[in-house]
C-alpha cells in the first residue's frame, strides 16, 4: 500500500488526549451504546494472524468477563509451537522490506492508527470494561494513553528521522543514524490491555522492527482488535503477527528463538527475570546479544509527612490504592505515615474507603470493579489472611458475595516495614499502613523493598521535598499527588531494581531501546 505522508509542518505538537469523565450526556450515551454493541459480539472467535493470514486452531483461549465469569467475551485461537515458529519466520521475512521504509512513512501508519482508534474509542472502552473489569473512566484512561503512545511515538520517529547532532570534522561528512533491531517479541500485560499493548507494539514497528505479539490470555481480544486495526490502516502482512498462547507452551520458544532480536515485556518480576535469563544465553545460529526491555512491577509507597495536607494525602492514598482494584504496577500498596498524625490519618482513611462503591463496572456509578480472575482472588485472599496476622484490619478483608471476582477494598494498619504484605507485590485492593517514627524513618522504610517504581510524598516542607528528590529511590516520584496516572510525555515511566530496566515508556529515550546507532563517515 502506498501512503500519503503528512507534511512535517502540518503536524501539531504533541498534546495528551483528554480522558472522558462522562459528565457530558453525549459521552455517556455513546458509552452506553458501545457497551450494548460490544455485548452483541460476546462469544466471537478470533484467529491467529500470521503473515496477514488468519488461522483458526482447535485449541482456544476463553476471555471471560471478570464481573460475571459465566459470560465469554470471546475466544482466541491458541498458537502451537509450530505456529509460533511460523510467526517468527513471517516476521523475519517482513523485516527485509519493512526496515527500508522511512521513519517518516512508518510514523504515518501510527498517525492513521490513532485516528481510527479515536473514532472507535468508546467501543474499545467498552471492551476493556468487559474483558478486564475496568470502570468507565479507567477504561477511557487506558485508551487515551494508547492514543498518546501512538501520537507521541510517531512524532518521536520524525525527530529521529532528522539529522542527528555530531561534532564536525574538517574534510569529512559524518552522520549518526538509527536503524531497527530486527524481529521482536512483544509480551504485554492484561492490566493496561490497551495502552501498554499498543504502546509496546507501536514503538517496535515505528522503529522499523517486526513483531510477534503474544498478549495475556486474560486480554487477548483487544489485542486481536488492534492487529486488525493495523492491517486496516495498511500495515503490511507479517509486520505484526498475533499469536496468543500459553506461556508454558510457546513462551520459552519465543524468547529463545535465534531469530528473535529483542523481547519487550511487561508483567511480573518472576516472569521478567526468567525472560532475562533465557535471553542472555545465545542459541545456535544467533548473531546478536538479545535486548530485553522489561517493566516488572512494584511495591509503591506514599509517604505522609507530619506537616502534610491530611485530607489531600488521604484522597491520594485511596485513589492510588484502590483505582482499578489496585491492579496497577504504580498502585500505592504502602502508606508510610509519621507517628504524630498516624491515628488521625487512619480515621480519615477508614471513612474515605467506606465510600468506595464496588460492583459491575458496566454501571457508571461503580468506582471499583472485580479483580481479573479466580487465581487473583485466591492469591489476594492469601495475602489478606497473612495481613490479618501481620497487622490490624481496619477496612474490608473479604470477598464480596457476588458472581464475579469482587474483593472489598482492604486496609491493614500497624504493619511492620519488613512484613510480608509490606514487601511482596499483591496486585489487588490491599493497602498496608506503616507507622514511621519521623521523616527520616519514613524515607528509610520507603526504600526498603527490592522494587523502585513509583512513590509519592505529601508535605508542605520544601526541605523534605528536596531530600526526597535525592534519596527516594524510584523511577517516578510525585509530590503532593497520587502515585498512579503517569501521562505520556510528561511522566516517562519505568523503574529501578526489580521494577525492571527503567525503560521510560512515553519518554524521549524509549524508541532508542528498539533501535541501534550507526555512524557513517565519508572523506571529502
Give the residue numbers annotated as catalytic, written as ranges.
Answer: 295, 329
DSSP 3-state of 111: helix
Look up residue 441 and give its three cell numbers: 524513618
Give CA–CA dist 442/339, Å, rounded: 10
Angle, helices 121-132 vs 103-119, to 10°: value is 80
Comparing CA positions, the residue from 120, 110, 161, 149 lying closest to residue 8 is: 161
Give CA–CA dist 300/43, Å, rounded: 37
Give CA–CA dist 434/391, Å, rounded: 9
Q: Any idea what DSSP says for residue 55?
A: E
Per the rule left: phi > 0, alpha: psi between -120 and 50, beta: everything else, 102 is: beta
Angle, helices 462-471 vs 439-446, to 10°: value is 30
Q: Under a CB-based contact definition with an 8 Å cutoff, are residues 383 and 371 in contact?
A: no
Q: Return the H-helix or E-strand segment holding 335.
A: strand 332-338
Cα first-last separation, the chain: 39
What is the chain's length? 524
Q: Return the H-helix or E-strand segment holding 38.
A: helix 25-39
CB neighbours of 140 closer than 8 A, spacing ≥ 6?
19, 20, 22, 121, 125
Q: Under a CB-based contact definition with an 8 Å cutoff, are residues 300 and 454 in contact?
A: yes
Task: Output the CA angle 207-209-215, nearest 5 degrees.
Answer: 105
Q: What is the DSSP string of 298-311?
A: --EEEEE-TTS-HH
Comparing CA positions, the residue from 66, 85, 64 lying closest to residue 75 is: 64
Give CA–CA dist 62/378, Å, rounded: 20
Q: Any idea what DSSP says for residue 358?
A: B
Look up residue 299 and give its three cell numbers: 511495591
Q: What is the DSSP string of 321-373?
A: HHGGGG-STT-EEEEEEEGGGHHHHHHHHHHHHTT--BS-TTSTT-SB---S-
Within 50-173, where are the H helices? Answer: 81-98, 103-119, 121-132, 136-161
- Cα 520–chain centre separation: 36
Look up residue 141 and give its three cell numbers: 484512561
Measured over the CA atoms of residue 163, residue 167, residue 168 and residue 173, the dihedral's sign is: negative
Q: Under a CB-based contact definition with an 8 Å cutoff, are residues 188 and 242 in contact?
A: no
Amino acid at each position: 500500500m502506498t501512503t500519503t505522508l503528512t507534511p512535517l509542518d502540518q503536524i501539531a505538537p504533541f498534546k495528551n488526549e483528554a480522558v472522558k469523565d462522562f459528565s457530558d450526556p453525549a459521552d455517556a450515551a455513546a458509552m452506553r451504546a458501545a457497551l450494548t454493541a460490544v455485548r452483541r459480539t460476546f462469544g466471537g472467535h478470533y484467529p491467529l494472524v500470521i503473515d496477514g493470514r488468519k488461522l483458526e486452531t482447535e485449541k482456544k483461549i476463553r476471555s471471560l468477563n471478570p464481573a460475571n465469569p459465566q459470560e465469554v467475551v470471546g475466544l482466541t485461537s491458541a498458537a502451537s509451537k509450530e505456529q509460533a515458529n511460523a510467526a517468527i519466520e513471517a516476521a523475519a521475512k517482513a523485516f527485509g522490506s519493512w526496515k527500508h521504509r522511512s521513519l517518516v512513512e512508518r510514523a504515518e501508519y501510527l498517525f492513521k492508527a490513532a485516528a481510527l482508534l479515536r473514532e472507535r474509542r468508546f467501543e474499545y472502552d467498552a471492551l476493556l470494561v468487559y474483558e478486564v473489569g475496568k470502570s468507565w473512566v479507567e477504561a477511557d484512561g487506558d485508551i487515551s494513553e494508547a492514543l498518546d503512545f501512538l501520537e507521541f511515538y510517531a512524532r518521536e520517529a520524525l525527530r529521529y528521522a532528522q539529522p542527528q547532532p555530531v561534532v564536525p570534522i574538517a574534510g569529512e561528512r559524518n552522520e549518526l543514524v538509527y536503524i531497527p533491531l530486527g524481529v521482536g517479541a512483544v509480551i504485554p500485560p492484561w492490566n493496561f490491555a490497551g495502552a501498554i499493548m499498543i504502546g509496546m507494539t507501536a514503538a517496535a514497528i515505528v522503529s522499523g522492527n517486526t513483531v510477534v505479539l503474544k498478549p495475556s490470555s486474560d486480554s487477548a481480544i483487544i489485542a486481536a482488535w488492534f492487529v486488525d486495526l493495523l492491517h486496516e490502516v495498511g500495515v503490511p502482512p507479517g509486520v505484526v503477527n498475533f499469536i496468543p498462547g500459553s506461556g508454558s507452551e510457546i513462551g520459552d520458544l519465543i524468547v529463545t528463538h535465534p531469530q528473535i532480536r529483542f523481547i519487550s515485556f511487561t508483567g511480573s518480576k518472576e516472569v521478567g527475570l526468567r525472560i532475562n535469563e533465557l535471553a542472555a544465553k545465545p542459541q545456535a545460529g544467533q548473531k546478536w546479544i538479545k535486548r530485553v526491555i522489561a517493566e516488572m512491577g512494584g511495591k509503591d509507597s506514599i509517604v505522609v509527612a507530619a506537616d502534610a495536607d491530611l485530607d489531600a494525602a488521604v484522597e491520594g492514598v485511596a485513589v492510588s490504592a484502590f483505582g482499578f482494584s489496585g491492579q496497577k504496577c504504580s498502585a500505592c500498596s504502602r502508606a508510610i505515615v509519621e507517628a504524630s498524625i498516624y491515628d488521625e490519618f487512619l480515621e480519615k482513611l477508614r471513612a474515605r474507603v467506606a465510600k468506595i462503591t464496588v460492583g459491575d463496572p458496566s454501571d457508571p456509578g461503580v468506582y471499583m470493579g472485580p479483580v481479573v480472575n479466580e487465581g487473583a482472588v485466591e492469591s489476594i485472599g492469601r495475602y489478606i489472611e497473612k495481613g490479618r496476622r501481620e497487622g490490624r484490619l481496619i477496612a474490608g478483608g473479604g470477598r464480596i458475595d457476588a458472581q464475579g471476582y469482587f474483593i472489598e477494598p482492604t486496609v491493614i494498619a500497624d504493619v511492620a516495614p519488613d512484613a510480608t504484605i509490606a514487601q511482596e507485590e499483591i496486585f489487588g485492593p490491599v493497602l498496608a499502613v506503616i507507622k514511621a517514627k519521623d521523616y527520616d524513618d519514613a524515607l528509610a522504610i520507603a526504600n526498603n523493598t527490592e522494587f523502585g517504581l513509583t512513590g509519592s510524598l505529601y508535605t508542605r516542607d520544601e526541605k523534605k521535598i528536596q531530600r526526597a528528590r535525592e534519596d527516594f529511590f524510584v523511577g517516578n516520584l510525585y509530590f503532593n499527588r497520587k502515585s498512579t496516572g503517569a501521562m505520556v510525555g510528561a511522566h516517562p515511566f519505568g523503574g529501578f531494581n526489580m521494577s525492571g530496566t527503567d525503560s521510560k515508556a512515553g519518554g524521549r529515550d524509549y524508541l532508542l531501546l528498539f533501535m541501534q546507532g550507526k555512524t557513517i563517515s565519508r572523506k571529502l
